[in-house]
Amino acid sequence: MLTELNIQNYALIDHLKIDFSSGFSVITGETGSGKSILLGALSLILGERADLKSIRTPSKKCIIEGIFIINELNLQPWFNKNDIDYERNTILRREITPQGKSRAFVNDTPVSLTKLKELSENLIDIHSQHETRLLNEQSFVLEIIDSQLPNYNLILEYTASYKTYKSNLSELKKLKEQEQKSQNEKDYLTFLFDELQEVNLEKVLSSDIEAEYNRLSNAEEITQLLSETDHLFNTENTGSLSTLKKINNLLERLSTISPEFESLSSRANSSLIELDDIANDLANQNNVSLDVQKLSILEEQISTLNRLVQKHNVENFEALIVKKNEINQKIQDIGSISTQIKQLGNKIDKLEKSLLTKADIISKERKKIIPQLEKDGHQLLSKMSMPNAYFKFEMAQLEKLSIFGIDQVNLLAKTNLGSEYKPLKKFASGGESSRIMLAIKSLQSQNKSLPSIIFDEIDTGVSGEVAENMGDIMRELGLKMQVISITHLPQIACKGQHHYKVYKEEKNHTTTSSIKQLSEKERIQEIANMLSGSTISEAAIKNAKELLK
């Protein structure tokens, strides 16, 4: 329920604050006083696009704010899903800067216009005479019937399952396209993997192939250097070991003579032991020989590895192993698409069977409820001076599932005896369509919680007793929900529990629109004015008082 509307710097409105109540409220005012401006401002917090021309003072920000009581609308899941604080009194706000930037908020949390509109559709419904085109839309026509079903939750379950079903179908299509596209890629990846696998990277690299290659390719030089080193170590009288042994003997003799030489003797002895080990190790390396065949194999392996490093754009030989594993994983992923397709296909089949079962149950329930709905609709139309008016729901079965189930329903009507049922758009006048829409809204409200509704001059084209009856129906509708009617007819204005008037003021060469709730005395004057015009007669005052009774 809309409890408060604040408007700043919009069109002819400088600053306006209005409190709304539950039940049936009416808004009246002269043509051009600003009733449409009020709806235009409200539409901004319902997610409609903003127009910079609607800003009253271009240098100031335009702000529209509405407060709604939402605790009975079961909207907490929406707030949780969108990570917005849930409040019993929820505030929708729209700001438009002088630069044309628009921002939207729900409980002070920034939201997109799409989200704002998504929420507001559950809060308030603005209906004008021109919007009777909804009567020809499939979703709206089915909603009329479904609102009367005893198990409306089945509709909600079906809708949620159908959305999942369509999402899965879309995913299945993508997977099949991906599988087709990946087949050529798989062939190429398999070629790359086989090429790397053939090299036997793990085995080749575990032997330190580059060190082995350097050793064999320099075998002659290594042999020569080892021979020269051995000669320097072991040549009699002049070799390093021979010389160091002599030095060591001399230092040992000196250490027996004087303790100051013990340290030098010990160091010389350690050096002799270390150098002797080196000489022995070098002697064991003398078996290096040129293995031409093995060298050729190593050259070929290194050449292949270098080519693969360049081909795969990696830093070293070891990175080729990582690359091979990556390629293998891609091949496995492509192979798993077939499994995913099969699993998703099975899931879709199960969902489709479940949906068909639910759609069949829903269809049978719809057929059961339609006769009573048509009967109740005729009774309401009769109250609005259309005694020969009937509408009926013409059902046909679809060839495949839709968001609405397996039914296609058209709303037909006739307004005169002997006439045939036809779609509303082909014959119904504005006044007739308005009355049919009001009857439908009244029917819907009996079994379903509807958002607040604003009727924008839905009474256009009617008068007299018809208008009075329409007012009665709106008043009854107001017992179940918040109803606000913008009207030019006194017969409807007098039915409201609360009466607001939109008016213009001229001050300092500026025109401003405003709105106020009328007192009982002011209300009599307003309805009398609607009855007789600007010159209010005593008879009009008396008539206004009678109407208000």
Give 397's strand partners. 407
Q: Are 234 and 279 a contacting pair, CB within 8 Å? A: yes
The pLDDT of 346-371, averaged and rounded, is 95
Higher pLDDT, 36 or 362: 362
pTM of the model: 0.65
Distance of alpha carbon 452 from alpha carbon 6, whole angstroms = 17
pLDDT tier, 338 (very low <50, low <70, confident <90, very high otherwise): confident
CB atoms within 10 A of CB 165: 20
CB atoms within 10 A of CB 362: 23
The beta-carbon contacts of 362-365 under 8 Å, at least 24 apart in sequence, are 362/146, 362/149, 362/154, 362/155, 362/158, 362/405, 362/407, 363/395, 363/397, 363/405, 363/406, 363/407, 365/149, 365/150, 365/151, 365/154
Q: Are 33 and 117 a contacting pair, CB within 8 Å? A: no
The amino acid sitting at 433 is: S
Sheet holding 422-423, edge to edge: 390-402, 405-414, 422-423
CB atoms within 10 A of CB 289: 11
Q: Are 383 and 139 a contacting pair, CB within 8 Å? A: no
> Residue 544: exposed, middle, or buried by beta-carbon count in 10 A (0-12, 13-18, 19+)?
buried
Distance of alpha carbon 115 from alpha carbon 112, whole angstroms = 5
Widest distance between CA atoms in the chain: 152
Question: Which domains does the chain show, CATH number per domain?
Answer: 1-123+451-518 (3.40.50.300), 202-328 (no CATH), 521-549 (no CATH)
Express each pLDDT in 223-282 by its tens digit.
666 666 666 666 655 566 677 777 767 767 767 766 776 787 788 788 878 877 877 776
> Mapping DSSP to helix (H, G, I), strand (E, B) and coil, where does residue 32 land?
coil
Lowest mean pLDDT among 17-26, 314-323, 396-405, 518-527: 314-323
Torsions phi, psi for 385 (to 5 deg)? 60, 35
Q: Which of 22, 103, 8, 21 is nearest to 64 (CA)?
A: 8
The pLDDT of 52-63, averaged and rounded, is 86
Distance of alpha carbon 202 from alpha carbon 318, whole angstroms = 9
Express each pLDDT in 452-505 by its tens digit.
888 888 777 777 888 888 899 999 989 888 999 999 899 999 999 999 999 888
pLDDT tier, 98 (very low <50, low <70, confident <90, very high otherwise): confident
Residue whose tokens read 């007098």: 494
- Mean pLDDT, the chain, rounded, equals 83
The beta-carbon contacts of 284-290 under 8 Å, at least 24 apart in sequence, are 285/222, 285/226, 286/223, 286/226, 286/227, 286/230, 288/215, 288/219, 288/222, 288/223, 288/226, 289/219, 289/223, 290/216, 290/219, 290/220
Over the Cα atoms of the chain, what is R_g? 46
Task: Pick from 28-37, 214-223, 313-322, 491-500 the range whose average pLDDT is largest.
Answer: 491-500
* Per-residue tokens: 496: 């409201």
Lowest mean pLDDT among 135-149, 283-297, 382-396, 425-439: 283-297
pLDDT tier, 74 (very low <50, low <70, confident <90, very high otherwise): confident
pLDDT tier, 433 (very low <50, low <70, confident <90, very high otherwise): confident
Distances (CA, A) of 124 to 203, 286, 477: 74, 98, 15
Distance of alpha carbon 489 from alpha carbon 457, whole angstroms = 9
